[in-house]
Amino acid sequence: MNPKLSAVKGMNDILPPDSARWEWFESTVRELMRAYGYRNMRTPIVEPTALFVRGIGEVTDIVEKEMYSFTDALNGEQLTLRPENTAAIVRAVVEHNLLYDGGKRLWYSGPMFRHERPQRGRYRQFHQVGAEALGFAGPDVDAELILMARRLWNMLGLHGLRLEINCLGQADERARHRARLIAYFEAHEEQLDADARRRLHSNPLRILDTKNPAMQELVQGAPRLLDELGEASRAHFDGLQQLLRAAGQEFTVNPRLVRGLDYYNLSVFEWVSDQLGAQGTVCAGGRYDTLIEQIGGKPAPACGWALGVERVLELLAQTQPASAAAQLDAYVVLAHAPALPRALQVAEQLRAAGLRVQMHAGGGGMKSQMKKADASAARFALIFGEQEWLSESVGVKDLRSGGEQQQRAVPLQPAGLLLDCLART
């Protein structure tokens, strides 16, 4: 036998029955996006490496050490598997001039790739759903985006997600804060870990995002960006808070909340769960008013979020156990070989009427086929045996009625009779 092959570390197969939850999640997301008038975008999984270097920022975890980048062997192009999708959405919006007639509300869904250490809630291929509102200065769309996420949690039946918000101000405010931050961390240099030392002069704001428990106290005492905000930034942040309060949405202002990506300004927010261990952030987003210009477009404001599908699905799995129930309406048992064409035809008629019908395959006697029918969790077994063949009927057995299962013979003509019979029970 040939040696077995396995999936790349940190990249998962999504198998039944779990895939049913994925499908349900995806259809719920589509419904959500329709309800808010967001339109779907699909961009390539591979982009020029320069897009992410420019869009995400050189001194970020992603660009420094998480990207799957490679040289196209055929033409020498530098390419990267997308680690996130906002930069690519902006690239496409600029490339196709989508903002020519005003702002756009867009969404996407799909796999992202980051070379991280795989652990619970952290994978090398993972999935994001994202919503982006481009061309609007907010804070109305900032609030809309946050409330959209809230509606999604409600549609999914998820409770207990907390909202944290912060304001990152504008470049000049961050520059002032940055100077104070560097001075503070320099004064406590002996408490910095290796990562923080490396970032001290390149990206000190990111030190606030450290996951190192030993550094939490130091970070708690650091100068706050909120204290550096000017009037306009403050008004934007106050506006967002008022809209959230008016919508009955609770939140906490977390002055340490920064984003892993460089392009954010003003509003940032995260939806956090306590049920996921260390990887508790389910959805993260904010405003990125300078990114469109950075990618080569005419300056335009923008705001958006991305949620980690695996983390949302882990929460869902905690509330709804996997179940094959109600996946099938009928399982067709073929106990008399000549009846096969007739059974196929009946199955097609039922499917045309919207029923979910699975044909038995792989042969076997009546008894073993009935076992398969039971295990399929179908509502009915439809039995095509010799008796039924001769009397031009089908045996219908309700598999979920409990108690002794009675089999009825239902004539195949007129054609609607079987359908009525399945619908009535």
Q: Calculate the dihedral angle through the C-alpha atoms of 142, 208, 254, 318, rounding to the nearest 10 degrees.
A: 80
Closest CA to 319 of 274, 287, 282, 275: 275
Q: Which of 126, 164, 145, 147 is nearest to 258 (CA)?
A: 164
What are the backbone angles phi and psi of residue 115, rounded to the nearest 5°?
-85, 80
135 binds, among ligand ATP, Mg ion, none (CB under 5 to 8 A by kind): none
Q: Which of 132, 310, 314, 329 binds ligand ATP (CB under 6 A)?
A: 310
CB of 29 to Mg ion, least distance (A): 22
Site for Mg ion in 255-294 (CB under 5 A): 260
Closest residue to bound ligand ATP by CB: 308
Q: Are strands 357-359 and 330-334 parallel, antiparallel or unpaired?
A: parallel
Q: Which amino acid does the sequence have at 166?
A: N
Region binding ligand ATP by CB under 6 A among candidate stretches 97-105, 169-177, 246-254, 307-315: 307-315
Residue 219 φ/ψ, nearest 5 degrees: -65, -40
Cβ distance to ligand ATP smaller for residue 219 or 410: 219
104-113/39-40 β-pairing? parallel
Tell me the three state secondary structure of residue 366. Answer: helix
Q: How far is the CB of 132 from Mg ion (least distance, A)?
A: 19
| Short-list 409, 407, 379, 416, CA closest to 394 | 409
One of 25, 38, 108, 126 touching ligand ATP (CB under 6 A): 126
Round to whole Å and give the CA distance between 194 and 143: 37
Q: Helices in 137-271 by DSSP H: which ranges?
A: 140-156, 171-187, 194-199, 216-220, 231-246
Kindly tell me which of 196 and 333 has the beta carbon lying closer to ligand ATP. 196
Q: For residue 414, say if its preceding peptide bond is cis, omega within 30 degrees of 0.
A: yes
Contact 32, 152 (CB under 8 A): yes
Only one of the segments 25-33, 115-123, 338-346, 379-387 lies at the binding site for ligand ATP (rule: CB under 6 A); that segment is: 115-123
132 touches 289 (CB < 8 A): no
114 makes contact with ligand ATP (CB under 6 A): yes
| Residue 195 within binding range of ligand ATP, rule CB under 6 A | no
Cβ-proximal residues to 235 (8 Å cutoff; 6+ apart), any chain = none
Q: Which C-beta is closer to Mg ion: that of 103 or that of 260?
A: 260
Give the shortest CB-363-to-ligand ATP separation in angstroms: 43
By CB under 6 A, what part of segment 247-306 binds ligand ATP? 260, 279, 281-282, 284, 306
Is 84 or 144 the residue whose CB approaches ligand ATP more closely?
84
379 near ligand ATP, judged by CB under 6 A: no
> Of Mg ion, ligand ATP, none, which one sits near residue 314, judging by CB under 5 to 8 A according to partner kind?
none
Kindly state the tokens that stand for 205.
Answer: 């704001």
Structure tokens at 367: 């008894």
Which of residues 122, 150, 198, 234 is near ligand ATP by CB under 6 A?
Answer: 122
Q: Determine the size of the site formed for Mg ion (CB under 5 A).
A: 1
Q: Which of the residues 70 through 129 are near Mg ion (CB under 5 A)? A: none
Cα–chain-centroid distance for residue 420?
40
* Contact range with ligand ATP by CB under 6 A, out of 117-125, 197-205, 227-235, 239-247: 117-125
Quick note: the x/- pattern for ligand ATP over 82-101, rule CB under 6 A, is: --x-----------------
Out of 105, 311, 379, 397, the only residue in the binding site for ligand ATP (CB under 6 A) is: 311
- Summarize as ranges the residues that interact with ligand ATP (CB under 6 A): 84, 114, 116, 121-123, 126, 128, 260, 279, 281-282, 284, 306-308, 310-311
